Amino acid sequence: MQLEEDHLGPHLNGKHLRPESLMMSYGYNPEWSEMAVKAPIYQTSTFVFKNAEEGKAFFELAYGLRQKEEKEELGLIYSRLNNPDLEILENRLRIWDGADEAAVFASGMAATSTSLLALLKPGDVILHSEPIYGGSDYYIKNILPKFGIRSMGFRANATAEEVEELVNKEGIGEKLAMIFIETPANPTNHLVDIEACATLAKKHSTEAKKVVVAVDNTFLGPVFSHPLKHGADLVIYSATKYIGGHSDLIAGACAGSAEIIKAVKGMRTFMGSMASPWTGWMLMRSLETLKIRMECQARGAETVAAYLKNHSKVEKLYYLGDLSDNPQQEAIYKKQCSAAGSMIAFDIKGGEKEAFLFLNNLKLIKLAVSLGGTESLAEHPASMTHSDINPTDRAVMGIGEGMVRISVGVEHPDDIISDIEQAFAHV
Ligand SMILES: *Cc1c(COP(=O)(O)O)cnc(C)c1O
């Protein structure tokens, strides 16, 4: 008994099913595996062809030597190219973003580096928001230039007019090939207007060259933010964070149109940056609880943020659920986010010394980088995740010496607050 399906996904009684209803079994047929209700781990490097003709046909498709016949699917060849765990996972993942297709990788950085190499070429310019994840920042500024790809950054909370002005002033419009943004930005939670980026990209696209809008959607996606619906072409994830959600794996993903993902997967085959079957299986397990985890964490964060907001030791709070003093950011929030998520940052009164005292005295919340897992984590961006950025740029981005970032987990929010309260008492 299979669900009926069209290009928008599976439906029942004429209605498309919601993503959370499909994460348990969509895309897997028990008959493939002794009627097991769950997909097994296909821990295999290679796949047996029924006969030589079949092997030939599979390779013709894999290497693009001919077009697919109607209803013809790419057969299983070798686990660097495709594997059932990855294929089922990709089919489930794409549903959240309403994408044609998805691709999974060994890490978020593998997703970013492979996608950018697939979509950029020497002479191109990539325009990106700032701050972005440290690894992406390094890759764009230090690795891509080796291949003749230049970059230019803009402040995450710059207005659309300011970004446009920058592109015109620097005269990069003609060479512009990609706008890469991270929204909300880490750790300041500044939002970048996806629709405005799509408009700018369109303006600089020609018949021969489409400017691609890529969005790192790790912080709010794929539950609370859907960039493809606002004109983005590619969404990228560190699946290590909310998608994996248990701080027990490293993985990445991206989703977009069939055309873009075909190019990205082509590059993935030759970079060898795909996820392993085991990681794919773990991510399928994680997807079953993705929505309830993210909703629970977002509710917890709301309570924790309300506590921090009026605390005498807090100078400033950075939380998406509280943008009333910033109409520009609030308008973007209303347009492209359906909840505030569970990343909070705050400036403690004082500087590094006070922030360290606070962090060293936490008991329930763990002092660690990374985020999005079931347990709450706290860190000091200026000396940890963002220490590679020079202090002047860091100040411009709004990352001060007293800033603490918290990823709120699924613990009871009152327990998280108790821990914060006792840690504050040491400051
Ligand atoms: C962690 C992270 C990455 C990198 O992902 P890895 O899985 O560590 O390679 C990229 N972007 C954002 C926003 C992240 O938080």
Q: Residue 108 is part of a domain; what is its CATH number?
A: 3.40.640.10
Q: How far is the CA of 399 from the centre of ligand 1 (A)?
A: 18
Same domain, 91 and 227: yes
The verdict on residue 371 lying in a domain is: yes
Question: Considering only CA atoms, which of 396, 310, 309 is closest in space to residue 130?
Answer: 396
Same domain, 353 and 338: yes
The verdict on residue 334 lying in a domain is: yes
The verdict on residue 74 lying in a domain is: no
| Backbone φ, ψ for residue 406 (5° rounding) | -125, 130
Ligand 1 touching residue 238 (CB < 6 A): yes
Ligand 1 touching residue 407 (CB < 6 A): no
Atom of ligand 1 nearest to the CA of 371: 15
Atom of ligand 1 nearest to the CA of 239: 7
264-282 pLDDT tens trace: 999 999 999 999 999 999 9
Work out the percent of the chain whose per-residue pLDDT is above 70. 100
Ligand 1 touching residue 252 (CB < 6 A): yes
Q: How far is the CA of 273 from the centre of ligand 1 (A)?
A: 15
The verdict on residue 51 lying in a domain is: yes
pLDDT at 396 over 90: no
Ligand 1 touching residue 245 (CB < 6 A): no
Ligand 1 touching residue 329 (CB < 6 A): no
Same domain, 114 and 233: yes
Cβ contact 121:267 at 8 Å: no
Ligand 1 touching residue 135 (CB < 6 A): yes
Same domain, 222 and 259: yes
Same domain, 193 and 246: yes
Q: How far is the CA of 314 from the centre of ligand 1 (A)?
A: 28
pLDDT at 1 over 70: no
Same domain, 228 and 361: no
Number of domains in the chain: 3
In whole angstroms, how far apart are CA 199 and each of 155, 336, 396? 18, 15, 26
Same domain, 106 and 159: yes
Atom of ligand 1 nearest to the CA of 186: 13
What sign does the dihedral 108-321-188-403 (CA atoms) show?
negative
Which pLDDT value is given to residue 5?
A: 87
What CATH number does residue 377 fall under?
Answer: 3.90.1150.10
Same domain, 330 and 383: yes
The verdict on residue 66 lying in a domain is: no
What sign does the dihedral 274-279-285-286 (CA atoms) show?
negative
Q: How far is the CA of 37 from the centre of ligand 1 (A)?
A: 32
Domain's final residue, options 287, 314, 331: 287
Same domain, 47 and 91: no
pLDDT, average across residues 4-25: 90
Better pLDDT: 404 or 69: 404
The verdict on residue 72 lying in a domain is: no
Query: Within 13 Å, how many C-alpha atoms sit on residue 150's CB side?
Result: 11
Domain's final residue, options 28, 59, 90: 59
Same domain, 133 and 248: yes
pLDDT, average across residues 270-298: 98
Domain interval for residue 12: 4-59
Question: Considering only CA atoms, which of 111, 320, 89 is closest in space to residue 235?
Answer: 111
Domain's final residue, options 287, 318, 342: 287
83-124 pLDDT tens trace: 999 999 999 999 999 999 999 999 999 999 999 999 999 999
Ligand 1 touching residue 108 (CB < 6 A): yes
Same domain, 329 and 350: yes
Q: How far is the CA of 254 from the centre of ligand 1 (A)?
A: 12
Same domain, 227 and 331: no
